[in-house]
């Protein structure tokens, strides 16, 4: 198996899910006592969040790139960034580390195409929803168009992520509002919804909408296991 590097801690809630899924899926495929060969850099999220809020993409690229380079020196052969938003600096991480970065939007776009979607809704941080980190990849690589919620709903989703989900808080009232937002995306023409923050699948599941929901954490882990075993 290839050794996978993980840039995690953004937040630790979803990084725990990455670790669990990667090891579980390798064990299921390989059998016996097999588990995933992983090297993890787990950030102090407070510092990352401060740079993110200030939109210091240069500093974020340098910070994540240096951590990835350290993992490469330790033996990692490929990299996953265990968060959607930080794929905004994926190219810089790949450049600095010299390693392939397995892109979460490509894993998700492939799944949306397999499901027969041509237009998908997108939930995530405001950076994920309002930049091309997803929309550009989905359009260029998969011919998918992307819908995002209106501004009040985007603000709610963003605040829920940073105020609750990354802190391990999963409130029923927040889940209910997410359901309403997804219903509005469906009314606007979405054929499925991308849960484009790695904490959202900890709150929302398949029973929360009448259309396909794309769990980016699970899809990213599937891509990573395929890569490790290839």
| Residues labelled catalytic | 83, 197
CA gap 36, 142 in Å, rounded = 30
Dihedral sign for Cα 164, 55, 9, 14, please: positive
CA gap 48, 50 in Å, rounded = 5
SS (H, E, C) 14-31: HHHHHHHHHHHHHHHHHC
Determine contact, residues 135/107, Cβ cutoff 8 Å: no
- First-to-last alpha carbon distance for the chain, in angstroms, is 8
């Amino acid at each position: 198996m290839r050794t996978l590097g993980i840039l995690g801690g953004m937040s630790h809630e979803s990084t725990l899910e990455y670790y669990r899924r990667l090891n579980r899926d390798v064990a299921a495929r390989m059998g016996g006592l097999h588990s995933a060969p992983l090297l993890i850099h787990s950030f102090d999220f407070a510092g990352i969040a401060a740079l993110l809020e200030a939109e210091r993409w240069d500093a974020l690229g340098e910070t994540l790139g240096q951590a990835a380079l350290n993992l490469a020196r330790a033996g990692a052969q490929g990299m996953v960034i265990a968060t959607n938003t930080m794929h905004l600096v994926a190219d810089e991480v790949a450049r600095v580390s010299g390693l392939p970065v397995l892109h979460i939007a490509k894993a998700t776009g492939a799944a949306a195409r397999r499901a027969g979607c041509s237009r998908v809704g997108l939930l995530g941080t405001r950076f994920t929803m309002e930049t091309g980190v997803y929309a550009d990849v989905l359009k260029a690589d998969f011919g998918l168009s992307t819908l995002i919620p209106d501004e009040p709903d985007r603000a709610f989703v963003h605040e829920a992520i940073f105020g609750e989900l990354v802190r391990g808080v999963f409130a029923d009232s927040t889940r209910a509002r997410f359901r309403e937002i997804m219903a509005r995306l469906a009314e606007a023409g979405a054929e499925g919804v991308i849960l484009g923050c790695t904490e959202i699948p900890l709150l929302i599941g398949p029973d929360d909408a009448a259309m396909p929901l794309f769990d980016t954490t699970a899809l990213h882990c599937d891509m990573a296991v395929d890569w490790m075993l290839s």
